[in-house]
Structure 1
Amino acid sequence: MGAWGMAPFQNDRAVDLLEELGELDTVARTLRIREVFMEGINSDSDDAPLAFEVVAAAALIGIILPGGLALDRDLPEGDERLTSCIDPEDEGYATDDWRPALLRSPGPELIELAIAAVRHVTGMDSQWRDVWGGNRDRAIEEMQKVLAILEAAVR
Structure 2
Amino acid sequence: MGTWDIGPFENDMAADFAYTLDETAQDKREGLVRATLIRTVQALDYLESPEGAEAVAAAALIAAQCPGGEPISTSFGPEKALPAFADDLRPLAVEALDRVLAEESELAELWDETPSGPKWRRSIGRLRAVLAPESRPPEDTSSGL
- Calculate the TM-score normalised by the size of structure 2: 0.80
Provide Cα deviations, 1:29-52, integer angstroms capped at 9, x if missing partner: 111111101110111334111000
- The alignment yields a C-alpha RMSD, in angstroms, of 2.2
Q: Is the 8 A contact 1:5 1:11 kept in 2?
A: yes
Q: How does 1:8-87 map to 2 (within 5 A)?
A: 8-43=8-43, 44-69=45-70, 72=72
* TM-aligned CA deviation for residue 7 of structure 1: 1.2
The residue number in structure 2 matching 1:80 is: none
Aligned identity (percent) is 28
Q: Equivalent residue of 2:102, what SS?
A: coil
Write out aligned runs for 1:143-154 (5 A). 143-152=124-133
Indicate the structure with greater helix content. 1
**Paired positions, count:** 132
CA apart distance, 1:105: 1.7
Give the gaps of 5 or more residues in structure 2. 136-145
Q: Name the SS of the counterpart of 1:105 in structure 2.
A: coil
Deviation at 1:109, TM superposition (A): 0.9
Where structure 1 has 5 or more consecutive residues not aligned to the other structure, the ranges are: 73-92
Q: CA deviation at 1:129?
A: 1.4
Aligned pair partner of 2:119 in 117, 123, 138: 138
Task: Report the Cα offset of residue 130 of structure 1.
Answer: 1.1
TM-score, structure 1 normalization: 0.75
Q: Which residue of 2 aligns with 1:82?
A: none
Shift of 1:99: 4.5
Q: Runs of 4 or more off by more than 4 Å in structure 1?
A: none
Higher relative contact order (CA closer than 8 Å, sequence separation 6+): 1
